[in-house]
Amino acid sequence: MTDTDLTARGAVHQRQSTSSELRGAAAVFAAVGIMLVAANLRPAVVSVGPLLDTISEDQGFSSAAAGLLTTLPVLFFGLSAPVAPRLAARFGIERTIFGALVLLLAAIALRLVPDVVALFAGSMAVGAAIGVCNVVLPALIKRDFAHRSGMMTGLYSMTLSGGAAVAAGVTVPIDDALGGNWRLTLAVWGVLALLALVQWLPQLRRVHTIRDDAGGGSLYRDRVAWAITVYMGAQSLIFYTFGAWLPTYLLDRGMTHGEAGTTLALGQVAGLLTSLTAPMIAGRMRDQRAIALAFLVFCAIGFIGLVSTDAVPLLWVCLVMMGPGSGISLALLFMVLRSNSTAQTGQVSGMAQSIGYGLAAIGPILIGAVHDASGSWNLAMSVLALAIVPQALSALRAARAGTMRAG
């Protein structure tokens, strides 16, 4: 196929992806639906962390078993990602999201069963359901909001991060209000899933299947797709590993549990703000390399300050969190801007997120091993900071104007 053929085919895909763009009330309703779904993509996972000591004591878990409980959902984010584009191609994006929400609600309910197997099975199913939505929502944004991709990606990623921050902040108060019943506390997030499920029902009237014609496995030979994948993987590794070990790191430096929790929460707010603003700014640019690299510089400064001085740790944590906060939204934006069709957006999303969340799942284990071997949290955090290097190198390609091969 000639370059002219590829360009023409890409133009056809682009017209197909933008022709169904929503307007007016339909666009508002769809945007609300996307944000409600996004609000469900972290609380069922994040809410386990604040209750982990209570769950471990109640179930008699070892540290390894407790760590597995928190790692399993993230691992299944990655394992379910390659399947999501195929589901969307066969059943349509709307039905795929609806089915994932049903699975999420069932998985949350399963964790109510007073059985260890049910607890772990529910956690795996939570990860699988969320992993499918993680992949297909960028494709939906590509199809329905092509000319407003920066704004919609910002709102989506902000809601994603906001759901995580809210879950981290209110889980313990909810558990206190429920008398320390941790199973019931985890099940509370099913209300949010049910709300999203009900709101999504009208979307099933406009089901569109997408042709699986964006090149399939050929994306694994595409440099832009790999750049997006590396960028996604590096930011996921930093976000989940830093969030997992920061409280322990701060406690080791003399902070109280309350101070460490507050510092992490405020760092998440900084990440939340950048996840909203970064794609809104970047979406107006033809080339996004400058903004992508700027946020990575902030992240690097944060790591340097954190490991080199005991002063103003909150500042350094906020700077570090600006990296993955902007990184997740920019990665999603790159998937939309660099693809030639809705189907290709779904495919690169599946590719990037399967590998990215796979890295995120093993990151806390590897950095914990570095600490165990060296006895130094500063060294462990310094090793984690090295992930900025491949992220920056991949940004030079992923953020550059242009698209992937059309097929």
Sequential DSSP letters for 81-104 = TTTHHHHHHHH-HHHHHHHHHHHH
Mean pLDDT of 268-272: 88
Of 16-30, 240-254, 315-329, the range with the highest mean pLDDT is 315-329
Structure tokens that stand for 321 in this block: 């969190």
pLDDT of residue 326: 94
Query: Which candidate, 75, 31, 79, 70, places its Cα nearest to that of 51?
Result: 70
Establish how many alpha carbons lie within 13 A of residue 203's alpha carbon, considering only the half-sphere containing its beta carbon: 27
Query: How much is the pLDDT for 212?
Result: 53
* Average pLDDT estimate for 236-257: 85
pLDDT range class, residue 19, cuts 50, 70, 90: very low
Are 47 and 132 within 8 A, CB to CB? no
Residue 3: pLDDT band by 50, 70, 90 thresholds? very low
79 token code pair: 């394992």
The pLDDT score that the predictor gives to residue 144 is: 80
Instruction: Name residues whose C-beta falls within 8 Å of residue 163's C-beta, 6 or more positions apart in sequence.
Output: 38, 39, 40, 41, 42, 43, 46
Residue 2 pLDDT more than 60? Answer: no
pLDDT tens for 277-311 read 998 899 888 899 999 999 999 999 999 999 999 89
Residue 297's contacts (CB-CB under 8 Å, 6 or more residues apart) are none
Confidence of residue 321 (pLDDT cuts 50, 70, 90): very high
Neighbours of 250 (CB within 10 A): 23
Range in 205-209, 232-236, 337-341, 360-364 with the lowest mean pLDDT: 205-209
Band (89; pLDDT cuts 50, 70, 90): confident
Per-residue confidence (pLDDT) for residue 181, from 0 to 100: 94
Of 39-43, 50-54, 108-112, 391-395, the range with the lowest mean pLDDT is: 50-54
Overall average pLDDT of the 27-47 stretch: 89
Residue 407 has pLDDT above 90, yes or no: no
CB atoms within 10 A of CB 220: 12
Q: Give the mean model confidence (pLDDT) for residues 46-63.
A: 83
**What local confidence, expressed as pLDDT, does residue 265 receive?**
81
Q: Which two tokens stand for residue 401?
A: 């104007």
User: Average of pLDDT values for 28-49?
Assistant: 89
**Average pLDDT, rounded, for the chain:** 86
Provide the CB-side half-sphere exposure for 10 (13 A, CA). 18
Q: Averaging pLDDT over each range in 263-272, 281-290, 315-324, which range is the top one?
A: 315-324
Work out the average pLDDT over 60-69: 78
pLDDT band at 63 (very low <50, low <70, confident <90, very high): low
pLDDT digits (tens, 9 = 90+) for 72-84: 898 999 899 889 9
pLDDT computed for residue 15 by the predictor:
39
Mean pLDDT of 321-328: 94
- The pLDDT assigned to 6 comes to 37
10 falls in which pLDDT band (50, 70, 90)? very low
The answer to whether residue 147 scores a pLDDT higher than 60 is yes
Instruction: List C-alpha distances in Å: 331 to 216, 275, 325.
Output: 20, 10, 10
pLDDT above 60 for 68? yes
Which pLDDT score, from 0 to 100, does residue 22 have? 60
Confidence at 7, pLDDT banded by 50, 70, 90: very low
**Is residue 115 pLDDT above 90, yes or no?**
yes
Strands (E), 187-233: none
State the DSSP string of 297-320.
HHHHHHHHHHHH-SS-HHHHHHHH
Q: Which domains does the chain have, with CATH numbers?
A: 22-398 (1.20.1250.20)
